[in-house]
Amino acid sequence: MTKRMAKAMTTTADKAARIVLMGFDVDGVLTDGTLYFSSQGDEIKAFSSLDGHGLKMLQQAGVEVALISGRSSRALELRAANLGVKELHMGVADKRALLTGLAAQRGIELAQTGYMGDDVVDLPVLRSCGFSAAVADGHGEVLTRVDYVATRGGGRGAVREVCDLILRAQGKWDAAMAEYLA
């Protein structure tokens, strides 16, 4: 590993270690980005249970989770409730303004916030938060501008990978795993 690669990894870990509030895009991040509609017009989404458990572990470790989507969906409402995510924001046009507002409400700096996205519409929020991440199959313009690119795609464990990274960076991994290894 080169010194440059080691420094980049340290910087990423340092940024992840400061996270108090982590936001996630939905379509393309918590899902694979495919939109399904029933013949009655109902939207159907597929979510990864691996990602879901990562979000629960992150919350249990004291990191607040926010789901921020440009679209509105009953399926997302149900998933957020199932995961105990209280900060669900749908139909959001300006994700950066929303995350900035959430940080201000909590009295935290943007450096203590993170966001995971996949497409160019996420760039403003990704560039303003303290820790930015993207799914492996995200848009190329996003992949070159984030702190961390997951090895997995959207809806396929990328969110879990980032949750695990944050837990490790914050020194909370062993405690999070303790109940499963007892």
Could you report the per-residue pLDDT of 117-169, keeping only the tens digit for each? 999 999 999 999 999 999 999 999 999 999 999 999 999 999 999 999 999 99
Could you report the per-residue pLDDT of 63-95, keeping only the tens digit for each? 999 999 999 999 999 999 999 999 999 999 999
pLDDT at residue 24 above 80? yes
Looking at residue 157, the DSSP 8-state letter turns out to be T
Q: What is the pLDDT of residue 174?
A: 96
**What pLDDT band is residue 43 in, cutting at 50, 70 and 90?**
confident
Q: What is the pTM of this model?
A: 0.92
Q: What is the pLDDT of residue 4?
A: 52
Q: How far is CA 148 from CA 13, 15, 123, 163, 171, in A?
A: 9, 10, 14, 12, 18
Q: What is the pLDDT of residue 41?
A: 87
Q: What is the pLDDT of residue 182?
A: 85
d(CA 27, CA 16): 23
CATH code of the domain made up of 17-174 = 3.40.50.1000
Q: What is the pLDDT of residue 169?
A: 97
pLDDT at residue 50 above 70? yes
How is the chain split into domains, by residue range?
Answer: 17-174
Q: Which of 104, 22, 29, 33 is CA-nearest to residue 57?
A: 22
